[in-house]
Structure 1
Amino acid sequence: MKLIAYKKRLITIAVAGGLMLLVSSVQAQLSHDYLRAADNYFRKADYSSASVYYEKFLQGNGKAQTGQDPYALQATKKAGAAAGNKQQAVYQLAESYRLLTNYEKAAPLYQQITEGQATQYPLAAYHYATVLRALGKYEEAEKALNQFVSTYREKDNYSATAQRELLNLRFIQQQLQKSDAAQYTITRISEGKEGASYAPVVTPDNTLLFTATWAESGKGHTNHIFSASYANGALSNVDKAALPATELHEGTASVSADGTTLYLTRWQVKNGKKAAAIYSSKKATDGKWQAPVALGAVVNTPGANTQQPFIMPGGKQLLFVSDKQGGLGGYDIWVAELNAAGEPVSAANLGATVNTPFNEQAPYFHAPSSTLVFASDGRVGMGGYDLFYSKGTPGSWAEAENFGYPVNSVKDDMYFTSLGKSDNILEQVVFSSDRSAVCCLELMQLQKPTPVAVIPPVVDSTPVVKAEPVKPVEKEPVTAAPVEEVVVLENVFYEINKATITPPSYPSLDKIAARLKSEPETTAEISGHTDDTGSEEWNQQLSEQRAAKVVAYLVSKGVPKERLTSKGFGASKPVAANKNEDGTDNPEGRRKNRRTEMRIMGVKP
């Protein structure tokens, strides 16, 4: 009997062991399947689905979900290799959340990478910094950027962009102190559905067209064009635009002034690569749009992505965005000349006053004020994509300027449409931003009313007096009173710990040069100032060199050299405390102390 019991026990142990091995094998297989699915979605730039499966792989449990298509129109360069281990999965999960603009979830994942595998993932510190900036954690962002700058050895776009991100942090803190922010009213007008809504445009019949990735039953999130009535900051009668069905993504519409031609983008993503082209559609007699037809190779250059059309009011020119050769780098804004049939016959790049080596997107032209508005991630701004404007016409655009805060935020702001008049482009605006969203762009309304001048009533209250004899007055010579003005030169930036002026400073310095040339009787002293970081000798030398560089720039712009002097004061003339009363560092005080000033001297006429 003991022998039989013993054999039964052995059989039970063997069966239990086999079941444990089977369960372990199944769990391992599930984990492998989750990782394989996550990597596959990541390669396809489907970051929503990739994040789901990376989470399951890292947690080791959960129910699988169906795939979703990409949320955003913008192309990405982030199709990566398969995640061969847990740390790689953590990194690509962080990337997925960042590209979905879910910065709250991305931040701790990047932090985990930077604290453990910083050398294996050198870009993690950079992305961690941009995520912290988007979350409003500016001091932490600056620390992460400085870590990246000190350890990153490649001389590429990331090293250049990191320097600009440090300038962005300064710009942000300047902008947040603006006194006119209360004049703006910004409200969210999206439907509140899951997914993105962006690229608003008002048609000639006052219909609002926009693009959205709202999920459809069984179809996931695909970009489609929607139409709606828009009044009093709200959407109504929202429905899909009357376009023929397609399996492709389509969006960013623009309608000709006569309302008969619709321009749009259609695209797909295969193996992580985007293929986008611009199409046009004619309106049929029943009010529906006919099957879109791709524009010719003048616009849709083979091998390039072309997107985001905007038809100019006269119908003879089409603004568009492309990464084709011949640009400044990344995505540039171009203009195509159209013939009488609406076909493009030539195309030209808008040039360096608008484009940068990075990305410009979503062109819009406000005819009443002759103003081009677009989004860029290649200029100093609040971070991410900022909205910029440039006055002029195709072929002659002024240097682009940042709209500043609160038009722009520390997240992405783009796709601008104005209903304002010529003297106030910001009177009523519909645009896209993810400033209030956990994920994805949303439709926003911005209003900045034009101030109404109050003219007091004229009342005849002149007293009646008896005239007295007027005594003659002997004239004395009048000596002109000297006048002096000291101003801090805003938006003048230098490379870190160098005297080299960076290109984003040029527009501000050009304005100073124009003023000095218009006031030929004045002279100016340019003074450089630093905080107390580093030695006294180094700060003195750096401040002198920076002031001298500003003088040299102004001379190059036509200001006579004999009217300019430069002087460096190092850290000897702070305008704020470098440290708080408790001894902790005061970044805001240091920012104010790192400045360039101009003292203008002259006489009153």
Structure 2
Amino acid sequence: MQTFFLYASRFYKPTLFALALSCCVMAKAQFTYDYKKNADNFYAKKDYFSAATYYEKYLEGKKDAAGFDPYQVTKASTAKPAKAKPGSYDQVVYRIADSYFKINDFAKAEKRYAEAVNFDKTLYPDTKLNYGISLRADGKYAEAQKQFESYLQEHTPSDATTELAKKELANCKFIQGHQKRKDAALYTVQKLGSTYNPQGANYAPSGYGSTFVFTSTRPDSALLKNKKKSPYVNNIYQLPAGSSLEKTTIALPENAEQGVSSFTADGNQVFFTRWVKKDGKNMAAIYTSHKKDGKWDEPVKLGTSVNEEGYSSQQPNVSADGKTLLFASDKPGGYGKFDLWYAPLDASAQAGKATNLGSSINTAADDEAPFYHQPSGTLVYATNGKVGMGGFDLFESKGNIGAAWVEPKNLGSPINSVKDDIYFYNTGTGKLLKNAFLSSDRSSACCLELFSADKLYRKYVSGVVTDCQTNLPIEGAVISAKDNATSKVVLASQQSSDQGKYLFESGLSQAIKIQAAKDGYNSAEITATQPSDDMDTLANIGICLVKIIIDTPKPEIVKAEPKRTEVGPFGFDEAKLRDKGMFVTLDSLTGLLKREPHLAIEIGGYTDEIGTVEYNVKLGEARAKACMEYMVQKGIEASRLTIKGYGKCCPIVPETTADGKDNPEARKVNRRVEFKISYL
């Protein structure tokens, strides 16, 4: 009896421990089962943040259970999880990656996709594509490129995902090439402070006068006590100069959100987007409100020309003159998803018939957030339908609303990033990227934030000082320059080189008064007018000096002022370089390009007015080509030089005299080339 008791007691306590352990593990298994069940429910409801969180907890729970079973009792505790289909681990990992991907948390998505790319391709066919996109968004461009190339080798059908993979591959190549741009130092992009960017989304910069306006997702005090609704609401906020941030008084109905505003120049009328969620989808419309006695009146929804029933219209931008409204809409008549449209506005802000901006602007994807910069005649908008840095990129296109648009150009890095860059705004300055703002999620895992953008614009003036009589270069001439409008000194003093050349940066002045002086010569002065566009333009200004003739005591010698001999760089109907002054100019430009590797030059060829338009365009192009070939021989890359034949379009000297007679000397002057500089 005593022996039996001792034997029983040896095993009694461990048995109790095993039962307790079994209960503990069963509880853990039940929790992991519940995590997956909840995760599946959230995933089905497209609540991807919650889905990812619970899937992660599920995997962590499985890991804990697997390592916590010295008595192998987990079989009794995993009954419900065992009901999961074979391969469910793969499914969970894929869904975690997919959930992070869909909430734009690409860093976390990338880590899970790295494992998922080894799963069954028939079950998860687009894993490599999404993995590549995540790598690209995380700045790993070479690795991303490999995934896209591998995906395209395996995925042969011609479908939407194939086109997306091709576009993403092109994006990767574009990014890697654009990382080498040599003028990146001219750009400054900075995230605004916490007043503008607290936690959450802050985007769509706008404003009027000295008041800065933007849209923000912030807690609404009226909803803080309502436990059934999220307190975070999109609304319009403003920051008047010298004041504090405040929410605008524009009325916001219950269950609605609003933002993305645009104001008339006087700040007394606003157009904005208001949206509600319907069947899980945001349905948006454009409203307008007027300010009266410092308060905004009840907003009015624009008519069906803009807000077509059953479709969304959003992101309004009113032109500086208040006569035109630009907006984005997915209404019928477009080229893809959201397209850009415009509508005329009458004196009472009623919108006329809306017109699509056309196929040169719109794509089969989303084209959104238009902004028209009146001073430069430039449309800036966001699209994910063109090759770029990835996600939404900002593009620019020159033109007038209602007319043709120039082929859109990607604003490039650092204005654009590998994430979403959207909503551009300029405070009204003459330069597109002076005092500009934009929205981007480049430094955020979830949301758009506000950034300032600025570019250092440079304009150069170069030329040659020559002797008016001999047309030979003058060395050591003292060059000075002033702003023609303000008399501000642009260049205090510079001496011409042994080839008579000079070069200086003129700042942003539109008209420069340049003076050249040299002992033994009469001083000369010339005014150079620079183009008003955004290009950094090189104006080649030639100045000739008249040599001073000293009187002698002999009365028979008469002082006579020598005349300048005008010699065109090209003979009649010729494209051959033959003028010494032309070679001096080309050598000057060649030296400039070698010193400034970020510059490129357009060479335009012109003719006199004899001959047909078509023939003279070809002749002008041949003259430009002769210059390009000369510079290439001197060591300039052909990729930095472009040529264009302008023909007889733009004579600088009339080819007939006042009495209608032919002026051969003028024709010589008009047979010329002109040079325009820009950044690569």
User: Are the equivalent residues in 2 in contact too, given 1:212–1:224 (CA < 8 A)?
Assistant: yes
User: Which 10-residue stretch deviates more, 433-442 or 88-97?
Assistant: 88-97
Q: What does residue 541 of structure 1 align with?
A: none
Of residues 237, 241, 251 in structure 2, which corresponds to 1:226?
237
Residue matched to 1:297: 304
* Counterpart-to-counterpart distance in 2, 1:515 and 1:145: 46
Which shows bigger deviation, 387-396 or 51-60?
A: 51-60
Name 2:273's counterpart in structure 1.
Answer: 265
2:443 corresponds to: 436
> What is the aligned partner in structure 2 of residue 455 from structure 1?
491
Within a 5 Å distance, the mapping from 1:487-506 to structure 2 comes to none
Distance 1:95 1:176, change over 3 A: same
Query: Does residue 197 in structure 1 map to residue 202 in structure 2?
Result: yes
Say whether 1:121 aligns with 2:124: yes
Q: What is the root-mean-square deviation of aligned Cα atoms in Å?
A: 4.4
Contact 1:309 1:321 in 2 (8 A): yes
Superposed, 1:4-403 pairs within 5 Å as 12=16, 16=20, 19-20=23-24, 23-24=27-28, 26-41=30-45, 43=46, 46-60=47-61, 85-191=88-194, 192-204=197-209, 206-215=210-219, 219=230, 221-229=232-240, 237-245=244-252, 246-270=254-278, 272-285=280-293, 287-396=294-403, 397-403=405-411
Distance 2:340 2:614 in 1: 31
Matched residue, 1:533: none
Normalising to structure 1: TM-score of the pair? 0.68
Cα shift readout 1:77-97 (whole Å, capped 9, x = no counterpart)? xxxxxxx94434433432333
SS of 2:244's equivalent in the other structure is strand
| Equivalences for residues 403-418 of structure 1 within 5 A | 403-418=411-426
Contact 1:190 1:442 survives alignment (8 Å): no
Query: 1:272 deviation in Å?
Result: 4.3
| Greater shift in the superposed pair: 435-444 or 329-338 | 435-444
Query: For 2:615 and 2:192, how far apart are their aligned partners in 1?
Result: 46
For residues 415 and 517 of structure 2, the distance between their equivalents in structure 1, rounded to whole angstroms, comes to 45
Question: How far did residue 596 of structure 1 move?
Answer: 13
Whole-Å Cα distance in 1 between the matches of residues 446 and 150 of structure 2?
28
Q: Residue 184 of structure 2 contacts residue 413 of structure 2 at CA under 8 Å; is this kept in 1?
A: yes
Secondary structure class of the residue paired with 1:456: strand
Deviation at 1:390, TM superposition (A): 1.6
Question: Which is worse superposed, 273-282 or 368-377?
Answer: 273-282
What is the DSSP-based 3-state SS (H/G/I as helix, E as strand, rest coil) of the residue aligned with 2:353? strand
Q: Which amino acid aligns with 1:207?
A: T
Of 424-433 and 147-156, deviating more is 147-156
Q: 2: distance between equivalents of 1:125 and 1:427?
A: 41
The aligned amino acid for 1:306 is S
> Is contact 2:32-2:57 (8 Å) kept?
no
Letter in 1 for 2:519: T
Q: Percent identity?
A: 35
Q: Give the drift of 1:9.
A: 7.9
Q: Which secondary structure does the structure 2 equivalent of 1:198 belong to?
A: strand
Contact 1:190–1:444 under 8 Å retained in 2: no
Instruction: Give the aligned partner of residue 662 of structure 2.
Output: none
What letter matches 2:402 in structure 1?
Answer: G
Q: Kindly indicate whether the alpha-carbon contact (under 8 Å) linking 1:481 and 1:604 is maintained by their aligned counterparts in 2.
A: no
Bigger Rg, structure 1 or 2: 2
Paired AA for residue 202 in structure 1: G
CA distance, structure 1, for counterparts of residue 163 and residue 615 of structure 2 = 32
Contact 2:205/2:437, CA 8 A, preserved across alignment: yes
Distance 1:194 1:8, change over 3 A: same
CA–CA distance in structure 2, aligned partners of residues 30 and 320 of structure 1: 46
- Look up the SS of the partner of 1:142 in the other structure: helix
- State the AA in 2 paired with 1:309: P
Deviation at 1:18, TM superposition (A): 7.5
Q: Is the 8 A contact 1:263 1:311 kept in 2?
A: yes
C-alpha distance 269-212 of structure 1, shift in aligned 2 (>3 A): same
CA distance in 2, matches of 1:597, 1:125: 40
Q: How far is 1:355 from its partner?
A: 0.6
**SS class of match (1:222):** strand
Asked if structure 1 preserves the Cα contact closer than 8 Å seen for 2:33 and 2:58, the reply is: no
Aligned partners of 2:151, 2:615: CA distance in 1, in Å?
Answer: 40
Whole-angstrom CA distance in 2 between matches of 1:447 and 1:342: 33
User: Matched residues in 1 for 2:258 and 2:621: separation?
Assistant: 57
Instruction: Give the secondary-structure state (helix, strand or coil) at the position aligned to 2:151.
Output: helix
Aligned residues: 482
TM-score w.r.t. structure 2 length? 0.61
Q: Deviations over 1:522-544 (max 9, x none)?
A: 569x9xxxxxxxxxxxxxxxxxx
Query: How far off its partner does 1:17 sit?
Result: 7.9
Aligned to 2:487: none
**Residue identity in the other structure for 1:401:** K
Contact 1:100/1:440 (8 A) holds in 2? no
Q: CA, structure 1 residues 273+600, in 2 after alignment: closer, same or farther (shift >3 Å)? A: closer
- Is 1:520 aligned with 2:614? no
Q: 1:146: how far off? A: 0.6
Q: Deviations over 1:18-54 (max 9, x none)?
A: 835751563145224431443255x2xx444443333
Find the aligned partners of 1:117 and 1:515 in 2 and give their Cα distance: 62
Structure 2 gap ranges (5+): 64-86, 460-482, 484-489, 494-514, 521-547, 558-564, 587-603, 606-612, 627-636, 646-670, 674-680
Question: What secondary structure is seen at the aligned counterpart in 1 of 2:182?
Answer: coil
8 A contact 2:32–2:62 mirrored in 1: no
Rounded to whole Å, the distance in 2 between the matches of 1:450 and 1:365 is 20
Q: Do 1:190 and 1:197's aligned partners in 2 also have CA atoms closer than 8 Å?
A: no
Are the counterparts in 2 of residues 413 and 431 from structure 1 also a CA contact under 8 Å? yes
Q: 1:122 to 1:37 in 2, by over 3 A?
A: same
Corresponding residue SS for 1:384: coil
For the residues of structure 2 that align with 1:267 and 1:351, how far apart are their CA atoms? 26
* 1:447 aligned partner, one-letter code: D
Structure possessing the higher relative contact order (Cα contacts under 8 Å, 6 or more residues apart): 1
Measure, in 2, the Cα distance between the counterparts of 1:517 and 1:387: 38
| CA 10–175 in structure 1, closer or farther in 2 if over 3 Å, else same | closer
* Residue 317 of structure 1: how far off its partner (Å): 2.4
8 Å Cα contact 2:36-2:55 kept in structure 1: no
Q: Distance in 1 between matches of 2:615 and 2:140?
A: 39
Q: Is the alpha carbon distance of 1:597 and 1:309 closer, same or farther for their aligned partners in structure 2, counting shifts above 3 Å? A: closer
Distance in 2 of aligned mates of 1:461 and 1:340: 61
SS in 1 for 2:108: helix
- Secondary structure at the aligned position of 1:223 is classed as strand
Structure 1 runs not aligned, ≥5 long: 63-83, 470-474, 486-510, 527-562, 564-591
* Deviation of the 1:373 alpha carbon: 0.8
* TM-aligned CA distance change 1:47 to 1:199, over 3 Å: farther
Instruction: Quote the offset at 1:229 in angstroms.
Output: 3.7
Q: Decide whether aligned partners of structure 1 residues 143 and 284 sit closer, same or farther in structure 2, where only a CA change above 3 A counts.
A: same
Separation in 2, partners of 1:379, 1:174: 16
2:208–2:266 CA contact under 8 A, matched in 1:
no
Query: C-alpha distance in 1, partners of 2:348/2:423?
Result: 28
The separation in 1 between residues aligned to 2:246 and 2:98, in whole angstroms, is: 33
